[in-house]
Amino acid sequence: MSLDLFAYPPDPQTNLLPYEGIVNDYGVILSQHEADACLKALLNDIAWRHDQALIYGKLITTARQVAWYGEGAFSYTYSGITRRALAWTPLLLQLKQQVERHLQAVSPTVFNSCLLNRYANGNEGMAWHSDDEKELGRRTVIASLSFGAERKFALRHKKTREKREIMLQHGQLIVMRGDTQQYWQHAIMKSSRVTEERISLTFRTYGGQNAVSG
């Protein structure tokens, strides 16, 4: 079963998942002017690079571009490729602190890194996966802040295959916490109707200097 969660009024204390996980929708937390300015700065100032992965011994370069920033010299490895975090930019640090303020009432969290994904249009997406690396902890909190084109974010239970979907808007914040990564996968769905760019900022807390991300 698939349910479009976007019909629900944003309520950070309402769980959008039916069981074995917690996803909260904080709604659009930035004004149109603020979100537009952030998008422009992120497009121009971030050190974007195409993601790479070793699949069956072959180096694959993705269409999607990525960047990783944080407060320490973190390194993380997935699909056979190791990446190292860059130092916070002023804008990323400002957005991190703003997101942390929004989480203060429900589950106070301090993030130490941010993985950014850039999708040129709806032909680029993110396949089903879970951010369940041990360095993140079993009940990790991941805050996702969206900019640009509206895109469908989907969650799928690993065993029952039950799905939940939400359309993420320009300036919208959602937070995954609790057992979500253990029991659910998530994805950014492709759509030929989307012609504009989208950038996602996923704020995370790694427990050590070496991290692994899926």
pLDDT for 43 beyond 60: yes
Query: Which residue, among 9, 8, 171, 182, has the nearest Cα to 98 in the 3D structure?
Result: 171
Distance of CA 156 to the CA centre of its chain: 16
Establish if 84 belongs to a structural domain.
yes
pLDDT for 7 beyond 50: no
Establish if 214 belongs to a structural domain.
no
- Full domain range(s) for residue 15: 5-209
- In angstroms, the CA 74 to CA 54 distance is 21
> Two tokens at 181?
């990564």
Establish if 71 belongs to a structural domain.
yes
Between 152 and 131, whose confidence is greater?
A: 152
Establish if 198 belongs to a structural domain.
yes
For the segment 82-101, the average pLDDT, to the nearest whole number, is: 93
CATH of the domain at 119: 2.60.120.590
Establish if 96 belongs to a structural domain.
yes
Q: Would the CA dihedral through 139, 140, 141, 143 be positive or negative?
A: negative
Establish if 200 belongs to a structural domain.
yes
pLDDT for 174 beyond 90: yes
Q: What is the pLDDT of residues 114-124, one digit of tens each?
A: 999 999 999 99
Establish if 65 belongs to a structural domain.
yes
Q: What is the pLDDT of residues 138-150, one digit of tens each?
A: 789 999 999 999 9
Of 75-84, 98-107, 124-133, 171-180, the range with the highest mean pLDDT is 171-180
Q: What is the pLDDT of residues 18-39, one digit of tens each?
A: 999 999 999 999 999 999 999 9
Task: Look at the pTM and tell me if it is higher than 0.75.
Answer: yes
DSSP string computed for 102-169: HHTTTS-----EEEEEEESSTT--EEEE----GGG-TT--EEEEEEES-EEEEEEETTT--EEEEEEP
Show Cβ contacts of residue 98 under 8 Å, excluding neighbours closer than 6 positions. Answer: 29
Q: What is the pLDDT of residues 78-91, one digit of tens each?
A: 666 677 889 999 99
The total number of structural domains that make up the chain:
1
